């Protein structure tokens, strides 16, 4: 079952953040992940306007997400992200029943 990573970042040091974004794509790919969005424009249609950076990735499973996040090369890259931004990173399991989901959930 796929798993999705939703990353929301507030970037205060774009130069350092670019060091992070320059090295992450091959690490994501090595763990079976792919970028669905990578900092494209976000439009708020309800609630408080979202003005920060958002990235959405898809992995084959949550195990793949955990392996990516623990990869030694990614652990080194995260130092730049931590220095340059504040982030909230979520993992959402993909559902098997997207045609007719349970309305009680």
Is residue 105 domain-resident? no
- Edge to edge, the sheet with strand 3-11 lists 34-38, 53-59, 3-11, 85-93
pTM score, whole prediction: 0.88
Q: Which two tokens stand for residue 34?
A: 């792919």
Q: How confident is the model at residue 99 (pLDDT cuts 50, 70, 90)?
A: confident
pLDDT grade for 9, boundaries at 50, 70 and 90? very high
Domain encompassing residue 70: 3-42+50-93
The number of domains in the chain is 1
Q: Render 19-33 in DSSP notation, one character per residue.
A: HHHHHHHHHHHHTT-
For residue range 39-77, what is the model confidence (pLDDT) as tens digits? 999 999 999 999 999 999 999 999 999 999 999 999 999
| 99 found inside a domain | no
Residue 81 sits in a domain whose CATH number is 3.30.70.100
In a domain, 103, yes or no: no
**Position 21 in a domain:** yes
Q: How many helices (H) and strands (E) does the chain have?
A: 3, 4
Tokens 């652990």 — which residue?
75
59 within a domain of the structure (yes/no):
yes
Tell whether 26 is covered by a domain: yes
């Amino acid at each position: 079952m796929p798993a999705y990573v939703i990353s929301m970042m507030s970037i205060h040091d774009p130069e350092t953040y670019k060091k992070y974004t320059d090295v992450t794509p091959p690490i994501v790919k090595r763990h079976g992940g792919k970028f669905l969005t990578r900092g494209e424009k976000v439009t708020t249609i309800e609630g408080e306007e979202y003005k920060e950076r958002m990235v959405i990735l898809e992995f084959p499973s949550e195990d793949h997400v955990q392996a990516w996040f623990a990869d030694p090369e990614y652990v080194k890259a995260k130092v730049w992200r931590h220095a340059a931004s504040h982030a909230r990173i979520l993992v959402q399991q993909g559902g098997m029943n997207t045609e007719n989901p349970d309305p009680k959930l």
